Structures are given as C-alpha cells and as structure tokens.
C-alpha cells in the first residue's frame, strides 16, 4: 500500500492579496466579501477561497455572504436601492400601490445599466422618498427623476443651519458654522476643548463628572452612560474597548447621520474622552453600510485629528494614546443591537448573543467594552467642557422648571406637518408642542389622527396623549421617547395599513435566529396584508394580540421583543379599525 501525499491547492492569488490587504483575520471577513461583491465576484467558489485565506470554515463565510442585504451572490449592474420604509411609503403619491409596482416604476424609467432593488429604511427620512445610487444618498426623488438620478443628480439635502424657534442647541450648535471637512474650522469653534480639559484631570475625575451629569444613553433605552463606563473601567481585564454604534437603521431615525455629517470631530472627541475615562486605547465606529458618505467623512476627520495629535500616540503629551477605526456594515438592522454589532465586528453574522454576560464585562474579543450611540458620545464633550451642573440646567427657565431628565435631546418630527425635520430641545415636550411649536403645525387640510412615537418600535398613539410630557419614563403612560422621532399622520392614513408597513420592515429585517421573531413577524404581516386589503377574517385581531404577546415574552433579543409595542398600542387606540 502506497502513501499518497495530500497536495493543497494554493489560494487564488487575487483573493489572497485582498485578504492580506484587509488584515488577514476573521474580523476583516465582511470587508473582503464586500470587495468581492463590488467586483461582481461573490460566488460559492470565491467565498470558499476567501474562507481558506481567512482560515475560517467555508460555511461561516457563506453564511455572512447571504446574511447582509448589501451583498449578493448574483451578478449585478450598478445598483439603485429604492427605500420602502414607512416614511418613504407615506411620501409616495400612491401609498397602497404595492412594492412591486414601485420597483416596476423605477425599472421602467432607468437605462439598462442599473439594477433596481428594494431596501429597508436608508436613514434618509428627512429626504423621503429616498434611494441609494450605488453608495450615494439621494432624495427626495421619485421615479420621474430616475434619468437625472442615473446621471448623478442626488436631490436636495436638508439644511439645518438655522435653529427653529424654541430650540436649545448644544450638539447642533455648530451646524453651518464649522466646515465638517476641516479640523481647523472645528478647533476655531472650540471643538476638542472638552478633551483638553479631561486630559488635565484624571480618569476617575472624568468618570465622576459624567456620572454626575446623569447622562442617559440616547439610543432609546436610556441606560446611564456613566454607570456603563464605570462597569468597564472597574474590570481588571485588559485591553478594554470603546464602540460607537452608528448603525442607525431604524425607520424614522436619522439624527446620528446629521451629527456625523455636520460635526464629525465632536463625535471623535466624545469617544476619546470615553477611552480616557474607561482606560481604553482603541475604539471602533460601526457605521451602517448605507452611510458611505458619512464613513468617508469620519475617516478624513480621524486623519486630521491624528495630524494635530488629538488622536493617536501620546495625545497632547498626556501619556494617553487612543486609536479610532471606522468599520462599515453591509445592511442589517439587527446590527443596531449591541451584541449583534459586536458579532458583526468580529467577522460573523450579525446575530445577537445570549446575555448575560453583557458587553461591559464580555464584549468585543471577549474583553470589557463600552457601547454607546453617536448622540450619547456627542453630548460628552459639552459636559466635560461646561460641567455636570451646567448640563443639569440646560434649557431650564428657572430652578422650578428643571426637566426630569437633564440635558438636551435630538428630536425628529416627520409626516403631515408643515416643517418636518430635526431639532434639539430639552426633555419633557408634549406631542402637541412637537407638532405645533417645532413642526409648524399640521399641513393645511390635515387633522391629527395618530402618531408613531419613538421610532419604528415605538408606540402608536391617538389624540388622548397629545399633552403628555415625554421622556424616558413616559412609556409607562403609553407614549415612548425611544430615539426621539415622531411621525405624525392625518386622517388619510389607515392605522392598519401603517402597522402593515412597520411589520414588513421587521419581518424583512429579522435575523431569523429565533422562531418567535422569525415566524411571528411574517405571520403578523400576512394578517395585516389581508386586513389592509379589506380581506380580514374573524379572529384576526385576536391572533395579532396572541402573536404580540408571544414575541414579547419569548423572542431572543430586543428586536422581536419590541415589535409588539406598535402592535399593541395600535390595537388599543384603533381597535375598531382592525375589525372592519
């Protein structure tokens, strides 16, 4: 019997070079797959070769390639992604024309060089209806604009340089005043003053100041930022990491995009202060793949900050070193959940982890990790610069009018109001104030019917809650603050059809890891499709209520657990419309 030597075929040189270029570890897997997709070379053969070069199982690489919506194993032309999120749905002239009709309209208007695809919310809700032309954001645009879009026209971005009456600007104070692509402009307006003050103190003092400010996370949950940092700083394991969650993928939410676009150095400053307070020397900004423009702006800002010794080694001679990386996602709402984000950052499918352990003790690479969103980090420099006492009094007319929650909040008002968009104000506003004082009132001919409050996973409320003060605790009263977005709908919008649009989003974006969410969202969507089409059946509303309870009680992560919030609130306030 002869011994046969096993000969392994070398990895394809082009793929080997690509993997080497991105660092050669599993953490670079998504970048490798995205580059292969950009060259129309993403297929089972190249995926297997990439897996060999990355030294991971081929099925894991294939699982990633089929998980993220911006990747495709099919050969494509230039891609035009048409948003079918609820805000773009509301802005379309024929709300109930159907998604395929929308795609067909765009397809009929473009030349043969483009592939047309639907996509979930693009984070361009203030520019709805919106599309993504390759990596470029465009809106507001309609199918009639298709030729212009294909030729490079991108619509008109929203200008937030002028404050609205009643605004209290802190994080947005420099919009229109600083050039976001020039660090000297930022420095001239006091950016990085908070970092300089922090570096003159010690980490414990900085941490105590953030705790004293009572800053709550601005991603929706409202967990105290200082407490989270304290957990990380007190861990004996090193290294410790800082992660900025810039995967802003929930319908109605676009505030983080505006903050990154208008003053990227403010974000870098806040993250660097966090690193100093937590004893970390390295950080990542996980930004959604649809925000390529913002990702490039952040990378430019990082390079400029390093050139001024405001990032990198021995910052300003303090002995503290800090490095920030930008990591692009590839289309997955679930990656906004912090453990799914970490999984994705580690080069895996973006599926949530079992908790506990929580990221402050076991996060990125199994190390202590502080994860906060863009708005949370952007508030930090102002607290360090002006003090916690100042933050606690921002927006108060006098001591007896201190809001229950300190500081300012980024709000978004959308839908049937005269002046939709973004503004910054203290906590405690009522929905009536948001509509009338900041949104300019209802459109002519429109009367208020309902509002979706907080974001896609928020509460659907009727006029009975117009005068309820809104903050992180107001969900107990039936109206959510969430990430701070409010979509106002008039008498022309059916709550049933609107809820159907929300369930379409959740069903499309469910990661599929657990049965309650994977099956519950699609079954709810099937029922709502029938109801919205006038084909409702006896027992449908009761089944929706049962599905909502099931998802809330047994879904693996916050996505499935939060889907019932709009479902339950819509049925509570508009139950009669669900039994027509």
Nearest residue to 141 via CA among 91, 175, 107, 90 = 91
Q: Strands of 78-83's sheet, edge to edge?
A: 114-119, 78-83, 131-133, 136-138
pLDDT tens, position by position, 393-415 = 987 654 556 667 899 999 999 99
When divided into structural domains, the chain yields a total of: 5
> What's the pLDDT score for residue 96?
61
Rounded-to-integer distance, Cα 457 and Cα 559, Å? 8
> What's the pLDDT score for residue 402?
64
Angle at 541 between CA 540 and CA 545, to 5 degrees: 115
Nearest residue to 555 via CA among 520, 523, 517 = 517
The reply to whether 246 and 349 lie within a common domain is yes
Nearest residue to 239 via CA among 387, 363, 136 = 363
Q: In this structure, what CATH number is given to the domain that contains residue 528?
A: 1.20.1440.230
Domain annotation covers residue 413: yes
The reply to whether 486 and 499 lie within a common domain is no
* Residue bearing tokens 């307070």: 277
Rounded-to-integer distance, Cα 368 and Cα 240, Å? 5
pTM score, whole prediction: 0.96
Rounded-to-integer distance, Cα 365 and Cα 495, Å? 44
> What's the pLDDT score for residue 95?
60
pLDDT tens, position by position, 171-223 = 999 999 999 999 999 999 999 999 999 999 999 999 999 999 999 999 888 89
Number of H helices, E strands in the chain: 23, 13
The reply to whether 465 and 505 lie within a common domain is no
The reply to whether 536 and 565 lie within a common domain is yes
> What's the pLDDT score for residue 378?
98
The reply to whether 235 and 327 lie within a common domain is yes
Rounded-to-integer distance, Cα 6 and Cα 449, Å? 71
Q: Which two tokens stand for residue 421?
A: 């968009």
Question: Is the previous residue joined to 129 through a cis bond, with omega within 30 degrees of 0?
Answer: yes
Strands 282-287 and 241-246: parallel
The reply to whether 128 and 200 lie within a common domain is no
DSSP secondary structure letter of residue 6 = P
The reply to whether 337 and 230 lie within a common domain is yes
Containing domain of residue 511, as a range? 495-578
The reply to whether 349 and 232 lie within a common domain is yes
The reply to whether 234 and 379 lie within a common domain is yes
> What's the pLDDT score for residue 93?
59
Check residue 182 and give left, alpha or beta (phi > 0: left; psi -120 to 50: alpha): beta
Domain annotation covers residue 122: yes
How far is residue 567 from each of residues 456, 500, 504, 519, measured CA to CA in Å? 11, 10, 12, 15
Domain annotation covers residue 516: yes
**Residue 335 exposure: Cα atoms within 13 Å on the Cβ side:** 33
* pLDDT under 50: residue ranges of the chain: 398
């Amino acid at each position: 019997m002869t011994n046969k030597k096993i000969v392994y075929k070398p990895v394809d040189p082009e793929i080997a070079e690509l993997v080497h270029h991105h660092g050669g570890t599993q953490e670079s897997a998504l970048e490798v797959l995205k580059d292969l997709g950009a060259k129309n070379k993403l297929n089972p053969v190249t995926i297997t070769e990439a897996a060999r070069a990355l030294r991971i199982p081929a099925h894991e690489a294939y699982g990633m390639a089929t998980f993220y919506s911006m990747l495709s194993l099919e050969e494509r032309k230039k891609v035009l992604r048409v948003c079918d999120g609820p805000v773009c749905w509301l802005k379309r002239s024929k709300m109930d024309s159907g998604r395929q009709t929308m795609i067909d309209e765009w397809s009929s208007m473009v030349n043969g060089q483009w592939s047309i695809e639907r996509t979930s919310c693009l984070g361009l809700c203030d520019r709805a209806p919106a599309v993504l032309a390759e990596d470029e954001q465009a809106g507001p645009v309609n199918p009639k604009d298709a030729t212009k879009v294909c030729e490079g026209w991108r619509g008109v971005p929203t200008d937030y340089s002028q404050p609205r009456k009643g605004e209290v600007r802190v994080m947005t104070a420099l919009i229109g005043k600083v050039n976001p692509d020039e660090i000297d402009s930022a420095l001239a307006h006091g950016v990085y003053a908070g970092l300089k003050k922090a570096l003159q103190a010690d980490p414990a003092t900085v941490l105590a100041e953030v705790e004293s400010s009572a800053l709550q996370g601005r991603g929706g949950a409202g967990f105290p930022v200082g407490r989270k940092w304290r957990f990380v700083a007190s861990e004996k394991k090193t290294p410790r990491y800082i992660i900025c969650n810039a995967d802003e993928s929930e319908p109605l939410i676009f505030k983080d995009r505006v903050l990154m676009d208008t003053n990227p150095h403010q974000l870098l400053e806040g993250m660097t202060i966090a690193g100093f307070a937590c004893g970390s020397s390295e950080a990542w900004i996980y930004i959604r793949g649809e925000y390529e423009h913002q990702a490039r702006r952040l990378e430019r800002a990082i390079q400029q900050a390093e050139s001024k010794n405001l990032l990198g080694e021995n910052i300003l001679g303090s002995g503290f070193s800090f490095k920030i990386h930008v990591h692009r996602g590839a289309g997955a709402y679930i990656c906004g959940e912090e453990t799914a984000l970490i999984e994705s950052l580690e080069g895996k499918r973006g599926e949530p982890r079992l908790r506990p352990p929580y990221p402050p003790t076991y996060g990125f690479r199994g190390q202590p990790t502080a994860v906060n969103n863009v708005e949370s980090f952007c508030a930090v420099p102002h607290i360090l610069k002006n003090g916690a006492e100042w933050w606690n009094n921002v927006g108060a007319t006098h001591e007896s009018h201190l809001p229950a929650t300190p500081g300012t909040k980024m709000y978004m008002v959308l839908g049937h109001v005269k002046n939709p968009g973004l503004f910054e104000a203290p906590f405690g506003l009522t929905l009536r104030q948001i509509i009338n004082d900041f949104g300019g009132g209802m459109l002519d001919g429109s009367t208020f019917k309902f509002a979706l409050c907080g974001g896609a996973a928020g509460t659907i409320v009727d006029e009975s809650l117009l005068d309820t003060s809104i903050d992180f605790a107001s969900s107990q009263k039936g109206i959510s603050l969430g990430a701070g977005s409010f979509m106002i709908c008039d008498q022309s919008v059916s709550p049933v059809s609107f809820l159907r649009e929300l369930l379409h989003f959740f069903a499309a974006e469910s990661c599929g890891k657990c049965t309650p969410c994977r099956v519950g969202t699609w079954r709810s969507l099937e029922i709502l499709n029938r109801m919205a089409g006038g084909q409702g059946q006896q027992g449908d509303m009761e089944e929706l209520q049962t599905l909502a309870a099931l998802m809330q009680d047994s879904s693996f992560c916050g996505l499935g657990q939060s889907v019932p919030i709009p479902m339950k609130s819509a049925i509570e306030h508009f139950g009669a419309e669900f039994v027509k």
